[in-house]
Amino acid sequence: MATAPGAILAILHEYRARGPFTQRLLGVIAIDDALALVVYGLLLSRFGGKLFGTWLAARLTKSPAPVRKYLGLALLPQAGVSIGLILNAESFFAGEAKPTKTFHLRHF
């Protein structure tokens, strides 16, 4: 996702590049790197939250040590696998789906 700003700056310096394209390129590099930092930060916070949340819940429920240690790691890849399976099933069953009824669950 992120470009290497050091390499781009070295090339621009070596060729003494100036002008509107160079300015635009520097802006794109800055935005690209900032976006990469935000995305990586969000991913790390999500992973950390999931790991800590499962550890804390397992600790509060007095689960065995292996559950506390490995449950968070077991849950990390779950979302990507689910999305992949849904997309695979969608392409496999394309055109075979029939209209279904929607049921709404109500709290009594």
Q: For residue 108, is it within any domain?
A: no
Model confidence pTM above 0.75: no
| Cα–Cα distance for residue pair 63/5, rounded to 1 Å | 48
Q: For residue 96, is it within any domain?
A: no
Residue-number span of the structural domain to which 59 is assigned = 5-90
Q: For residue 82, is it within any domain?
A: yes
Q: For residue 100, is it within any domain?
A: no
Angle at which helix 5-14 crosses helix 20-60, to 10 degrees, equals: 170
Q: For residue 71, is it within any domain?
A: yes
Q: For residue 24, is it within any domain?
A: yes
| Cα–Cα distance for residue pair 30/76, rounded to 1 Å | 30
Q: For residue 81, is it within any domain?
A: yes
Tens digit of each residue's pLDDT (9 = 90 or more) over 58-70: 999 999 999 999 8
* Domain total in the chain: 1
| Cα–Cα distance for residue pair 55/73, rounded to 1 Å | 10
Tens digit of each residue's pLDDT (9 = 90 or more) over 89-104: 777 777 666 656 666 6
> Kindly report the CA angle at 79 between 100 and 73, in degrees rounded to 5?
145
Q: Give the phi and the psi of residue 71 in degrees, each rounded to 5.
A: -65, -45
